[in-house]
Amino acid sequence: MYRKISSLVHPFVLHLRHNYLYTNRMNKMKMELTGIFLCLLFSLNAQTPVYLDETKPIEERVEDALSRMTLEEKVAMCHAQSKFSSPGVPRLGIPENWTTDGPHGIRPEVLWDEWEQAAWTNDSCIAFPALTCLAASWNPEISALYGKSIGEEARYRNKNILLGPGVNIYRSPLNGRNFEYMGEDPYLASRMVVPYIQGVQANGVAACVKHFALNNQEEFRHTVDVKVDDRTLYEIYLPAFKAAVQEGQAWAIMGAYNRYKGEWCCHNQYLLNDILRDEWKFDGVVISDWGGVNDTRQSIYNGLDMEFGTWTDGLSEGVSNAYDNYYLANPFLELLKSGEVKVEEVDKKVRNILRLAFRTTMDTKRPWGSFGTEEHALAGRKIAQEGIVLLQNKNNVLPIDVNQTKKIAVIGENAIKMMTVGGGSSSLKAKYEVSPLEGLRNYVPSNVDVVYARGYVGDTDGSYNGVSSGQDLSESRSAAELTREACEMAKSADVVVFVGGLNKSDYQDCEGHDRKELELPYGQNELITELAKVNSNLVVVIISGNAVAMPWVKDVPAIVEAWYSGTEAGNALASILTGEVNPSGKLPFTFPVRLQDNGAHALGEFPGTAESARYNEGIFVGYRWTDKEKIKPLFPFGHGLSYTTFEYGKVQADKKTMSANDKITFTVTVKNTGSREGAEVVQLYISDKKSSVPRPVKELKGFDKVFLKAGEQKEVSFTIDKSALCFYDVNTKDWVAEPGTFEALIGASAGDIRSKVNFELK
């Protein structure tokens, strides 16, 4: 009798306990009492349900929970119940799933079935730098810090799925969402995404890697069918996802909006069943992008587990609370009930979802998280400090010597504009955001006069989905008046810091559309040219997530790429400009001189049409294209300067010949030859000297960020195996390294190779 009562009461108690964990973090005593009560129950009750027994392997728990569920409960788990949540199994004490954007901070709460704000007052987060900035750090430890910090924020807010990170490859500098991704190189993106995922998931929060796959443009994103050959798919567009799944052990992945081989990526036989599940053995949850599901049968059979954001009743748009009408809701249930679809189809999905629950919400040992803390803000600042790239520094205009400077003229809208609001789903409600102007004022002594002029008007709106920056950026003066004022101010300053670039408004760095041109918008080129005429101590700071054209590059001595850097943006930038921190970021993508210097654009294949986009440049993306075409970029992939100098020794290989099962190690010394400490990202590229298929001139296969005191020298080693020499063979569907001569190149960027060594593959 007791057993019976106890097994009935048990799930309820567990449910209660979870609620305590959720809602009453501080209420330790109640929890402890619940814990004691539970222990008592466990010890008295030999029949603890297997799914609740944390000592049991997860797969056993999954099967046990599944065996207790009704068909209705199973189907309910496969689709959303609100904008960002999906049901658990209340009867069994299995909690709901709560997702959140992602990837730069925890999105503020929206209403149950609206995109509008829920007007909570406790959901202002720390905004971390955009993922382009993270990638530009070229430092996996910094990525781990990022993942840990944002994971803690998500955990505190009771989210168990973070919608990020994004690793779609930077194919064109016009893609409106490049700022949310990790650049143009599959190796760099792979190395940087893994620690982010591990950091997030250490908090019992699933990283949901997005958008799988081939989502490389915003224009036509809901319809475009990407035509890409298999080799390009495997060599360029998949590696970062594969690393996320196999090395990062990501617990979730998000399908993309676009199509591939005619099928939408959210329910795509090739991508989800063949590659993700069968080849890579992914055992996590496939989540649709919001509104990315378009078909019931395909979503049943083609690898999708959870449907989110469908804004339809299947017939028309805009029905509220239409969750029962989702493709994977009632239509699915009916097919199951009629026997047309076998129960094993829903079971497959529910297994994945239950596994997610045991890894996240039902892991009673997961940490509690923390939110909006100084520690997180400082982590964000550190990430930005490692990601900001010094592109050019003639005449040592930078760092600004604040002791020798009386007046700094700060010009440009981006010196004051809040950038954490806008850009689409990654928009945030930040606890605070330090602007570049404020940052500079924080970092210079009080006797330095920091004056400001707007210079140009870009985007005066500062709101997204009901979150407002609170800034009034309206301006009534003409462009000529603004230029005049800026130039007057610049004339009399010791140094001019122009802060411009792009912003998070439509057709800039923003979800939904792509940029229309490589040029800086809002007449900034003209303004920069005028400023260069009146003051030669000009620093141009670009805030963007994309490359921009710089027709004035020869007239401006110092150029900095400062990205979207979140809460501590201004402080991070100021610490670099004033030299408190020595810049060490390197570009995660190529800055072309002209749009035509990019492969997709040279071939006229971006953005394609609403029906299709042909990736005819193939594997020649980014520097692979400029290398092949012998085009000198404005700034190459991997480029970034420091306030100190580094001298590279000659690279040595530990052997001349390697066999297929062997490894080979390359060693090079790097010396800090300047007078201050700094960090250099040493890069290893591999070149196949002769091949039966076209190969890139060189490909990144290793990098190491080395920190060196003034005068200090270190040895940097890279060990590679055959996998670094391979191409994807479409005939055998396998990776092939052809015997012959290869070259290892050590460089400070893709355009600055310092030393090379040949070796043979037997």
Cite the active site residues: 289
Nearer to ligand BGC, 98 or 290 (CB): 290
622 and 697 in contact (C-beta within 8 Å)?
no
Q: Cα separation of 370 and 667, whole Å?
A: 42
Q: Cα separation of 646 and 672, whole Å?
A: 5
Of 73, 101, 568, 627, which lies in the binding site for ligand BGC, with binding defined by CB under 6 A? 101
Q: What is the smallest separation between the CB atom of 160 and ligand BGC, expressed in angstroms? A: 15
Burial of 223 (C-beta count, 10 Å sphere; 0-12/13-18/19+): middle
Q: Cα separation of 140 and 206, whole Å?
A: 19
163 binds ligand BGC (CB under 6 A): yes
406 and 494 in contact (C-beta within 8 Å)?
yes
The closest alpha carbon to 323, from 306, 337, 339, belongs to: 306
Nearer to ligand BGC, 428 or 556 (CB): 428
Q: What is the smallest separation between the CB atom of 352 and ligand BGC, expressed in angstroms? A: 19
Signed CA dihedral, 549, 182, 697, 217: sign only = negative
Residue 226 in tokens: 């990407």
Nearer to ligand BGC, 422 or 678 (CB): 422
Q: What is the smallest separation between the CB atom of 426 and ligand BGC, expressed in angstroms? A: 7
Could you tell me which residues come within 8 angstroms of residue 484 by beta carbon, excluding any fewer than 6 positions away? none
Q: What is the smallest separation between the CB atom of 425 and ligand BGC, expressed in angstroms? A: 3
Phi-psi category of 594—alpha, beta or left, where left has phi over 0 and alpha has psi -120 to 50?
beta
Q: What is the smallest separation between the CB atom of 520 and ligand BGC, expressed in angstroms? A: 26
Q: What is the smallest separation between the CB atom of 671 and ligand BGC, expressed in angstroms? A: 44
Q: What is the length of the chain?
A: 762
Instruction: Write phi, then psi, for 743 (nearest 5 degrees).
Output: -130, 135
Q: What is the smallest separation between the CB atom of 107 and ligand BGC, expressed in angstroms? A: 7
405 and 443 in contact (C-beta within 8 Å)?
no
Binding to ligand BGC (CB under 6 A): which residues in 402-441? Answer: 425
590 binds ligand BGC (CB under 6 A): no
Nearer to ligand BGC, 116 or 340 (CB): 116
CA distance readout (Å), 501 to 151, 374, 389, 440: 30, 28, 14, 18
Binding to ligand BGC (CB under 6 A): which residues in 552-581? Answer: none
Could you tell me which residues come within 8 angstroms of residue 65 by beta carbon, excluding any fewer than 6 positions away? 51, 89, 92, 94, 354
Nearer to ligand BGC, 163 or 541 (CB): 163
Binding mask 196-225 for ligand BGC (x = CB under 6 A): --------------x---------------
Three-state SS for 700? strand
572 and 388 in contact (C-beta within 8 Å)?
yes
Q: What is the smallest separation between the CB atom of 101 and ligand BGC, expressed in angstroms? A: 5
Binding to ligand BGC (CB under 6 A): which residues in 241-280? Answer: none
Of 96, 184, 219, 289, which lies in the binding site for ligand BGC, with binding defined by CB under 6 A? 289
513 binds ligand BGC (CB under 6 A): no
Q: Cα separation of 400 and 722, whole Å?
A: 47
Q: How many residues bind ligand BGC (CB under 6 A)?
A: 7
Of 290, 456, 552, 643, which lies in the binding site for ligand BGC, with binding defined by CB under 6 A? 290
| Residues near ligand BGC (CB under 6 A) | 101-102, 163, 210, 289-290, 425
